[in-house]
Structure 1
Amino acid sequence: MKQAVRALFAVTVIAVLLVSLSACSENTPAALNINDLRTDPGAFTGTLTVTGILGAFSQNDPQIFGIMDKSELQCTSPNCNKFYLPVRYAGPAPAYGDELVVTGSFMPGTSLFAATDIKIVRNHNL
């Protein structure tokens, strides 16, 4: 009888913990890849989270850089047709080759992504 009560108590504690953990977890959607946006960036509205590799800097504006899809790391020939999503960020610029998780939205009427937050995941030696 005592074993049955202990087993029931243990199962109840585990169930309560699982419910608590699921209620506390964030329901944030997964980050989009650059190639998800490539065909029609204007179709995406609102706040988005995008992941990519910083592969280019604007020569005219230090706050603008281009990020490419992580899959582009596989292409090492000069004939690759890489797509760079232009990102404007007012904070400190990440480094060339940084893998980024960027949160922001597209500026109205453009394909320029205005970043409000950037997290650096790691650096890739490009």
Structure 2
Amino acid sequence: MIRSALSALSALTSPLCQSLDTKDKATTKLLQCAELLLNKQDGVFETDINKHCRTTSGRNLVSCLETKLNIRFARRQRFNPLLNEPRTHYALSNEAQIAAVTLFVFHEHQRLSRKAAANDADFSAPLTNKETRK
């Protein structure tokens, strides 16, 4: 039940992450990784994280997320049928981890939307003769 609510939250907020042009790309990638972990009930392979977040190392994103949230994801070596070899598989193992990741996603989306609103407000005001935009 909690996972379905989290999936709905993530589905509503994920376009925001894609539409923002922020300088904070590392946090955006962490946010994408967290959303991916929330959306996949049985967990994700490292290669799935690489593809979804457009990184070369999904392991670094997961480790950074674990450090930031002070949790430890379940890690297993599983056979990946797409690559025909064993790969690291990450999963959320309990409700406390799901809650921590959900709060992270929620707070980061709020922060990014405030940042986007501030940027939009800067460009909505008319320029005077002496002002220029960078």
- Going by fraction, where is strand more abundant, 1 or 2? 1
TM-score by length of 1: 0.25
Greater RCO structure (CA 8 Å; 6+ sep) = 2
Q: Which has the larger radius of gyration?
A: 1
- Going by fraction, where is helix more abundant, 1 or 2? 2
TM-score by length of 2: 0.24
